[in-house]
Amino acid sequence: MEANLRLLRSFAAVAEAGSLTRAAARLYLSQPALTKQIRKLEEQLGATLFHRSKTGMALTGPGEALAETLPAVLEAWDLAERAVRAAEAGAAKVLRIGFLASAANEKTQAIIAAFKERRPGWRVELRQSTWAAPAEALERGEVEAAFMRLPFPGEDAYRLAALLTEPRCVAMAATHPLARRGALRFEELLDEPFVAAPAATGAFRDHWLGAESRGGRPVRIGAVTALPDDWLTAIANGDGIALAPESAARYYARPDVAYRPLTGVAPSRVALAWPRHAPVSAALADFVAAAVELAD
């Protein structure tokens, strides 16, 4: 019997969440698909892993045994997979780096140039992540590090090198009445519908909804998007407004979207993130050094 990693990771997510609904959202699966995976794993193992009830999913004795031993199995596989990818990338002289939206803004190319000075003949391959799963490529070892906007899901599992801080602004349809203003206060936006990241992104979504500055006031969600183009389209269509880093006005300029300065919210922070417990390749160490050298 061989239980594949996908089934084991699904089991781990349900065991941690205690709920099929929450685990399915975290894994970006439908609940029926996740239920099918758990049943398949139970069939392969010949044991019932969960007690199912209206209140959630509780581990059985066999389920507890699997939950106790599984983290070491998954961690060992992740380390092995990262080692293989690092070796392959080293042979090809390619360093794979993830990024969200505008990465580290204008610093991005300067960091890459500084890295190439340290490692002549090497190439940096940038891979964009979605807002639905900001750290997915990092978690899977598909990239060695990533330019991330803080906070992001699972942040505690990574080392962070702070690169820059910039104010947040507000993006809205160019026809929105507030677009006639030169600057706005966040308290003026509390009743506006917002364009949000998917709920599964947790603290990342909350940050871009200004949750920390709402004083407990609930947010109205006008649309949910996971990609910059969809985000811009939802804003331009008037589905909602959105908080954005100040640099968005440069990197995502559109005639139907207006960006306005905003007070009353904390700034946005960008950091380079890489796994806390995974080996650091010599190439990644040089990339981190180049990034830190150019940090604010």
Give the residue extent of every domain in the chain. 5-75, 93-144+277-293, 168-266
Distance from the Cα of residue 7 to its chain's centroid: 22
pLDDT at 109: 96
**Which CATH architecture is the domain 5-75 placed in?**
Orthogonal Bundle (1.10)
* 117: its two tokens: 């000075």
pTM as predicted: 0.74
Residue 246 — φ and ψ, nearest 5°?
A: -55, -35
- Neighbour tally for 130: CB within 10 Å: 18
Which CATH number is correct for 93-144+277-293, 3.90.1300.10, 3.30.565.10, 1.10.20.10, 3.40.190.10? 3.40.190.10
pLDDT at 5: 81
* Cis peptide bond N-terminal to 255, omega within 30: no
Say which residues have a Cβ less than 8 Å from residue 230's Cβ, sequence separation at least 6. none
Tell me whether domains 93-144+277-293 and 168-266 share a fold: yes
Which CATH number is correct for 168-266, 3.40.190.10, 3.40.1160.10, 3.40.50.720, 3.40.50.300? 3.40.190.10
CA distance 223 to 139: 27
Residues of the chain where predicted confidence (pLDDT) is lower than 70: 1-3, 28, 88-92
CA distance 194 to 175: 16
CA distance 147 to 100: 7
